[in-house]
Amino acid sequence: MITIKEAKTKKEIKDFIKFSFDLYKGNPYWIPPIIAEEMEGFDKTKNPAFEHAEAYYYLAYRDNKIVGKVAAIVNWQEINVQEKKKVRFGWFDVIDDIEVTKALLEKVYELGRRHNLEYVEGPIGFSNLDKVGVLVEGFDEMGTMITWYNYPYYKDHFEQLGYVTEKEYIESKFPFANVKPEMFVKASALIKKRYDLTALSFNKTKDVMPYVDKMFDLFNASYEKLSSFVAISDIQKEYFKKKYISFINPEYIKFVEDKDKNLIAFSIVMPSFSEALKKANGKLFPFGFIHLLKARKTSKDVVFYLIGIHPEYQNKGVTAIIFEEYYNTFTENGIINCFRTPELADNHAIHNIWKHFDPVIHKRRKTYKKDL
């Protein structure tokens, strides 16, 4: 018999998080999150995503043992501003038993019907900066700290339960050796001169901070036309600034300004923390933090996390400026491999940015949809 229980207490939320550690124990491709970070992300008093969202966390039990979990989420900004009557689900993990999946998703449906919503979509998080999608290809590829990993049977469960594909994402990689400076150095100089642009690079985090609010404003402007986009609020900007920017290598943050000091492009790259997170196994102390700090300084793999260009400057070659800056930084740091985070399969503009580096698609993921 399957029993579904809402996780409310601190212990129950920790059980919710740690179920994934049990499910993927020994799996070489799953990347464990930091438990304390997950706890904070689920805390309504700390995560500003709850300014516009509500969430409920459910655990499935059989014989007093946890066999699955799901977060049922409503993003009110998405519903009220975009008029998408959608209930979300995320942080979904389950044993290979479709009855458990069915029982967990029923709790998501209940939330959707309670608010007169029309359909369910997942796996997705609270906002656009959360993890997204169920893996459908690339199960033998290492995950990253900003993606979910899952077993192949997940998509089978969804499809057997009548879900259809809503969005498709691809993840690609390429060796840094594929990046040839002649591809962009000349173009970079021409674009800078033509539009009177200046590239900004940094060595200290304190020098980055004055630009961060502008960066998030540009992020909102750059992505607002994507069908899935929900803008980042001022409160969220402050949260992400304090939580993440100080941990990103300042030399991996690149900005481009126009002659009036307006930010017109940005990019954020992170060193790969995958191996360090596996060694940390969910804990920052006593040694997890040391593994992360070491990866921050010595990782030879990088993950392109975000890139944004103001709509007025899109398709004008501004990425050549960004690539020149990264080429110099990566050469100095001895970078070997470059990885891309999930990109919408139909976002051809972003794919065109990378095509000259001969990227290989190594993972595909989807969100699934079902009418209520």
Whichever domain contains 53, its CATH number is: 3.40.630.30
- Please report the pLDDT score of residue 228 as a whole number: 61
61, 163: one domain: yes
The verdict on residue 14 lying in a domain is yes
Low-confidence ranges of the chain (pLDDT < 70): 226-228
Q: Give the per-residue pLDDT at 227.
A: 61
Domain limits for position 16? 2-169
For residues 60 and 3, what is the distance between their CA atoms, to the nearest angstrom?
Answer: 6
User: Buried (b) or exposed (e) across 336-350, using 16+ Cβ within 10 A?
Assistant: eebbbbbbbbeeeee
Determine, yes or no, domain membership for 241. yes
Look at phi and psi of residue 51 and say left if phi exceeds 0, alpha if psi is from -120 to 50, else beta.
Answer: alpha
Residues 165 and 179 grouped into a single domain: no
Q: How many domains does the chain have?
A: 2
Whole-number Å distance between alpha carbons of 167 and 204: 38
Residue 249 lies in a domain: yes
Whether residues 133 and 246 share a domain: the answer is no
Provide the 3-class DSSP secondary structure of residue 168. strand
Q: Does residue 372 lie within any of the structural domains?
A: no
Angstrom distances, CA of residue 310 to CA of 255, 257, 316:
12, 11, 11
- Asked whether residue 121 is domain-assigned, the answer is yes
151 and 75 together in one domain: yes
Chosen domain end from 154, 169, 184: 169
Which pLDDT belongs to residue 342? Answer: 94
Are 179 and 300 found together in one domain? yes
DSSP string, 5-56: EEE-SHHHHHHHHHHHHHHTTT-SS--PPPHHHHHHHT-TTT-GGGGSEEEE
Question: What count of Cα atoms within 13 Å lies in the side-chain half-sphere of residue 199?
Answer: 22
Cα distance between the two ends of the chain? 25
DSSP-derived secondary structure for 304-368: EEEEEE-GGGTTTTTHHHHHHHHHHHHHHHT--EEEE--EETT-HHHHHHHGGG--EEEEEEEEE
226 and 95, same structural domain?
no
Residue 356's pLDDT is 87
Closest CA to 137 of 95, 171, 175: 171
- 161 and 190 in one domain? no
Looking at the structure, tell me whether residues 77 and 207 fall in a common domain. Answer: no
Q: Of 141, 104, 135, 136, nearest to 120 (Cα)?
A: 104
Residue-wise pLDDT tens digits, 33-76: 999 999 999 999 999 989 889 999 999 999 999 999 999 999 99
pTM of the complete model beyond 0.75: yes
Residue 130, token pair as written in the block: 């959360």
Domain boundary among 129, 150, 169: 169
The model's pLDDT over 115-157, given as tens digits with 9 standing for 90+, comes to 999 999 999 999 877 899 999 999 999 999 889 999 999 999 9
Shared domain for 156 and 178, answered yes or no, is no
pLDDT for res 166: 96
